[in-house]
Chain A
Amino acid sequence: MMQALKSPRLGGLSALSCVLIILPFTLSNSFQLDVAIQVGIAAIVVVGLNLLVGFAGQISLGHAGFMGMGAYMSAILSGTYGWSPLLALIFAAICVGGLAFLIGGPILRLKGHYLSMATLGLGIIIAIVINTESWLTGGPDGLVVEPLSLFGWALSPFDEYHLLGISLSGTQVWYILIASLLVFAVWLALNIIDSPTGRALRAVHGSEIAAQVVGVNTAHYKVKVFVISAVFASVMGSLSAHYTGFITPNIAGFHHSIELITMVVLGGMASTYGVILGAVILVLLPQVLADLQEFEMLAFGLILMVTMIFMPKGLLPTLLNLLNKPKQKTTSEEAA
Chain B
Amino acid sequence: MKTTKYTLALTLTLAATGVSLTPVQAAETLRIGAFVSATGPASFLGDPELKTLELYIKEINAQGGVLGQQVELVHYDDGGSAGKARTYVNRLIGADKVDMIIGGSTTGTTMAAVPLVEQAQVPFISMAGAIVITDPVKKWVFKTPQTDRMAATKVLQDMKARGMTKIGLISGTGGFGRSGHKHTLEVAKEMGIEIVADETYGPQDTDMTAQLTKIKSTPGVQAVFNFGFGQGPAIVTKNYAQLAIDLPLYQSHGVASDKYIELAGDAAEGVRLPASPLLVADTLPETDPQKPVVTAYKAKFEAAYNMPVSTFGAYAYDALMLAVDALERAGSTDKAKVRDALEQTQNYVGVTGVYNLSAQDHMGLDVSSFRLLEVSQGTWKLVE
Contact = CB atoms under 8 A, between A and B. Distances in A.
Nearest to A334: B2
Given A141-B175, A297-B39, A280 B14 contact: yes
A23 interface: yes
A261 B76 CA distance: 25
A141 B107 contact: yes
Given A15-B3, A140-B108, A141-B132, A286 B13 contact: no
Interface stretch (A26-34, A99-107, A224-232, A306-314): A26-34
Interface string A263-297: 00000000001000100110010111010010011
Contacts of B21: 31-32, 35, 284, 287-288
Contacts of B130: 141
B83 A141 contact: no
B179 A141 contact: yes
Interface string A1-42: 000011010011011101100010011111110110010000
A33 B328 CA distance: 34
A140 B9 contact: no
A130 interface: no
A139 B112 contact: no
Given A144-B111, A287-B21, A281 B13 contact: yes
A322 to B, nearest CB: 10
Interface string B162-178: 00000000000111001
Contact of A5 (B3, B9, B11): B3
Interface stretch (B91-99, B187-195, B215-223, B310-318): B91-99
A134 B176 CA distance: 12
A128 to B, nearest CB: 10
Given A11-B3, A19-B11, A277-B10, A247 B82 contact: yes
A144 B112 CA distance: 8
A319 interface: yes
B5 A320 contact: yes
A246 B81 CA distance: 12
B83 A250 contact: yes
A245 interface: yes
Contact of A19 (B7, B20, B94): B7
Nearest to B13: A280
A178 B297 CA distance: 49
B150 to A, nearest CB: 17
B14 A26 contact: yes
A139 B200 CA distance: 15
Given A140-B174, A141-B107, A141-B132, A250 B82 contact: yes
A240 to B, nearest CB: 8
A288 B173 contact: no
Interface in A244-264: 244-248, 250-251
A323 interface: yes
Contacts of A296: 77
B22 interface: yes
B287 interface: no
B337 interface: no
Nearest to A12: B6
* Interface secondary structure of A, over-half rule: helix
Contacts of A151: none
Contact of B175 (A12, A26, A32, A139): A139
A263 B101 CA distance: 32
A11 B173 CA distance: 53
A54 to B, nearest CB: 17
B115 interface: yes
Contacts of B94: 29-32, 34
A319 B5 CA distance: 9
A316 B9 contact: yes
A251 B2 CA distance: 36
A153 interface: no
Given A26-B14, A245-B115, A277-B9, A35 B87 contact: yes
Contacts of A121: none
B83 A244 contact: yes
Given A38-B87, A250-B83, A297-B39, A18 B112 contact: no
Contacts of A288: 17, 20-21
Given A19-B10, A250-B82, A288-B20, A32 B95 contact: yes
A195 interface: no
Contacts of A18: 7
A30 B1 CA distance: 34
A6 B111 contact: no
Contacts of A287: 17, 21, 87, 91
Contacts of A8: 2
A121 B114 CA distance: 33
B18 interface: yes
Contacts of B95: 29, 31-32
Given A27-B18, A250-B83, A15 B178 contact: no
A76 B39 CA distance: 30
Given A5-B3, A141-B108, 11 more contacts: A11-B2, A11-B6, A19-B7, A29-B94, A31-B93, A141-B111, A246-B115, A248-B81, A284-B21, A290-B76, A290-B91
Return the 10 tightest CB-CB contacts between A and B, nearest first: A31-B94, A140-B175, A248-B82, A248-B108, A11-B3, A31-B95, A158-B119, A30-B94, A29-B94, A15-B6
25 contacts: A6-B2, A15-B7, A16-B6, A18-B7, A19-B10, A19-B14, A27-B18, A31-B94, A32-B94, A139-B175, A140-B108, A140-B175, A142-B107, A245-B115, A246-B111, A247-B82, A248-B81, A248-B108, A287-B21, A288-B17, A288-B21, A290-B76, A293-B77, A296-B77, A297-B39
Interface of B: 1-7, 9-11, 13-15, 17-18, 20-22, 39, 76-77, 80-84, 86-88, 90-91, 93-95, 107-108, 111-112, 114-115, 119, 130, 132, 173-175, 178-179
